[in-house]
Amino acid sequence: MIVPVLGAGCGNSETNANERSRSNMFFRGPGAYLKDLTTPKIAGDHLVTYFPGDLTGMLSPVEPVEIVTRGNPELKRVAITIDDGWNADMRILRLLKSWKVQFTAFLIGGRGVADANPEFVRAIQETGGEVCNHTYTHFVMKGKDEATVVSNIWQAQNVITHITHEIYPYVRFSGGAYDAASLTWAARQGFWVVNWTASSGDTSPALSIDAKVNNILGNVVPGAILLFHFGGYGTYEVLSRVIPEIQKRGYQVTSLSRVLEGTPFRLKKKPGVRS
C-alpha cells in the first residue's frame, strides 16, 4: 500500500566517508561449526544462515517493485523502526527490552556502525530487534548507478548477517531517497525498499519533544511504519511517551515483519533454501 510519506529521514552523509571495509571479515558464532546448520534455511519470516561466504544472490527477486510505506491496514499494529546507529542512545534498547516491545533497526553496514560495533548489533538482536539494511555507506542512492546501489546493499548485508546469522528482505536508503531504478535494482537482489508512514522528526534539534510526539501520535493508523533514530534528538523521551499512548489506543507496537503480515512484502523462498 502506498501512502504519503510524512516527515523527513536522516540526510545525505556523503562527506567524511571514512569507510572501514570489513566485508571479508566474517563473524562465526558457535552455529557456524554445526554441520546441520551450514545450509541456509527459512525460519519464521526471515532467512537464517550460517554460511560463512558472500551472501550475494541468496534471496529471490521480489515483486511488486514499489516503495513500502505502510503495512497491513487490516491489522491494528504499528512498527517501530530505528535508523543509523551513530551516537546510539543505549537507553532506547533498555526501554524496549524492559517493555518487551519488538522493533526493527535499519543499521548502516559501514562508516563505523555495524562493521565496527558487532556487540551493538548483537545487543539489538538480543533486545528483540530485527536488524535490517541501511546500506553500507549511508550515501543517498537516488541517482546512483546500479553497481553502487547493489554493492551498498550487499556490503551492508554481509556485515550484518555474519553477526546476526539472519537476512530480512528489507533495505532503507539514506534520507528515504530513491528513484525507479534503485527500487528495481534492489528488487532484483531480493529487497523491498522500506520508508515510513510517519517520522518523529528526531533528526531536528529545533523541534520540541511535544512536536515530535505529536508527529507520531497524529499519524497512528493500522499498519503504520514509524521512523526514529538511535542518535536522534529526544528519541528516548519520545518513545517513552508514544509507546504507552499507542498501546492505550488498542494497537500492538511491534516490528516491521509483524506489521507486514498479510501483505506481499514478505520473504520468498529461493530454490535450494530449506524451510
Render pLDDT for 175-188 as a digit per residue (tens, 0 to 9).
Answer: 999 999 999 999 99
**pLDDT (tens digit per residue) in 137-171:** 999 999 999 999 999 999 999 999 999 999 999 99
Query: Which range, of 8-17, 28-37, 96-105, averages the lowest pLDDT?
Result: 28-37
At 119 the three-state DSSP class reads helix
Q: Looking at residue 51, what is its pLDDT?
A: 73
C-beta separation of 129 from 122 below 8 A: no
* pLDDT (0 to 100) of residue 138: 98
Residue pLDDT, tens place only, 108-134: 999 999 999 999 999 999 999 999 999
What CATH class does 65-259 carry? alpha beta
Position 241 pLDDT exceeds 90: yes
Q: What is the pLDDT of residues 127-138, one digit of tens each?
A: 999 999 999 999
If pLDDT is split at 50, 70 and 90, which confidence band does 44 have?
A: confident
Residue 232 pLDDT: 98
C-alpha cell at 143: 541517482
- Distances in whole angstroms, Cα of residue 121 to Cα of each of 108, 128, 132, 235, 257: 10, 11, 10, 19, 18
Q: Rounded to two decimals, what is the model's pTM?
A: 0.88
pLDDT score of 34:
40
